[in-house]
Amino acid sequence: MSERLTGMYAALMTGLTDSGEFDESRQRALTEHVLKQGLAGLYVGGSSGESGLLNYDELFAQQGIVADCAKGSDATLIAHVGMPNLRDSVRLAERAADLGYHGLSALPPHSYPFGDAEIEGYYRDLASATDLPLIVYEVPVRTGRPIPLESLVRILDLPNVTGIKFTSTDLFKFSMLRRRRPDSSYFFGFDEIYLTGGVLGADGGIGTTYNILGKLYVALDAALRAGDLPRAQELQDASQIFVEALLDTGVLPGMKAAFRVMGIDCGPTRAPMSMRMPEDKAEAHMRAVLDRPEIKPWLA
Inform me whether the pLDDT recorded for 81 exceeds 80. Answer: yes
Inform me whether the pLDDT recorded for 147 exceeds 60. Answer: yes
pLDDT at 4: 81
pLDDT at 300: 73
Check 9, 43, 123, 165 and give the catalytic one. Answer: 165
Are 177 and 200 contacting, i.e. CB atoms less than 8 angstroms apart? no
Q: How confident is the model at residue 3 (pLDDT cuts 50, 70, 90)?
A: low
Q: Which residues of 72-98 are buried (b: 16+ CB within 10 A; e: fewer)?
A: eeebbbbbbbbbeebebbbbbbebbbe
pLDDT at 69: 98
Mean predicted confidence (pLDDT) in 33-60? 98
For residues 27 and 68, what is the distance between their CA atoms, to the nearest angstrom?
11
Q: How confident is the model at residue 1 (pLDDT cuts 50, 70, 90)?
A: very low
Judge whether 165 counts as a catalytic residue.
yes
3-state secondary structure of 166: strand
Over residues 153-188, the pLDDT tens digits come to 999 999 999 999 999 999 999 999 999 999 999 999
For residues 155 and 127, what is the distance between their CA atoms, to the nearest angstrom?
10
Q: Name the percent of the chain lying above pLDDT 70.
A: 99
Give the residues across from 43 on adjacent strands: 11, 78
For residues 277 and 261, what is the distance between their CA atoms, to the nearest angstrom?
16
Domains and CATH numbers, the chain: 7-228 (3.20.20.70)
Check 101, 122, 137, 194 and give the catalytic one. Answer: 137
User: How does the average pLDDT of the chain come out, rounded?
Assistant: 97
pTM of this structure: 0.97
- Neighbouring CB atoms inside 10 A of 60's CB total 17
Over residues 225-257, the pLDDT tens digits come to 999 999 999 999 999 999 999 999 999 999 999
For residues 167 and 189, what is the distance between their CA atoms, to the nearest angstrom?
4
Mean predicted confidence (pLDDT) in 68-92? 97
Inform me whether the pLDDT recorded for 125 exceeds 70. Answer: yes
Closest of 110, 106, 44 to residue 78, by C-alpha: 44
Mean predicted confidence (pLDDT) in 90-119? 97
